[in-house]
Amino acid sequence: MPELPEVETIVKDLRKKIVSQKIIDIDIRLKKIVKNKPDVFCRILINKSFQKIIRRGKYIFFQIKQEKKYLMIHLRMTGQLIYQKGDKIIAGGHSDRKNILEFPNKQTHIIFYFKNGSRLFYNDQRQFGILKIINQEEFNLIDRKQGIEPLADNFSLQKFKELISRKKKNIKAFLLDQSLIAGIGNIYADESLFKAGISPFRKTSDLNEKEKTALYKAVRYLLKKALKYRGTTFNDYRDAYGRQGNFLNKLKIYGRDGKKCFRCGKEIKKVKLAGRGTRYCSYCQK
Partner DNA sequence: CTTCTTGTTACTGA
Partner DNA sequence: ATCAGTAACAAGAA
By C-beta, is 32 or 88 nearer to DNA? Answer: 32
Q: Which residues bind DNA (CB under 7 A)?
A: 1, 3, 32, 57-59, 74, 76-78, 106, 125-128, 145, 167-170, 173, 176, 178, 185-187, 203, 270, 272-277
Minimum distance of DNA from residue 230's CB (angstroms): 17
CB 215 within 8 A of CB 203: no
Minimum distance of DNA from residue 43's CB (angstroms): 26
CB 6 within 8 A of CB 232: yes
Burial class (CB in 10 A: 0-12, 13-18, 19+), 112: buried
By C-beta, is 114 or 194 nearer to DNA? Answer: 194
Active-site option among 55, 58, 69, 238: 58
Q: Residues near 132 by Cβ (< 8 Å), separated by ≥ 6?
A: 34, 35, 36, 71, 72
Give me the sign of the Cα torsion angle 132, 135, 136, 142. negative
Minimum distance of DNA from residue 194's CB (angstroms): 14
Minimum distance of DNA from residue 49's CB (angstroms): 27
Identify whether 2 is a catalytic site residue.
yes
What whole-number distance in Å separates Cα of residue 148 and Cα of residue 204? 17
Minimum distance of DNA from residue 2's CB (angstroms): 7
By C-beta, is 55 or 119 nearer to DNA? Answer: 55
Minimum distance of DNA from residue 256's CB (angstroms): 12
Active-site amino acid positions: 2-3, 58, 276
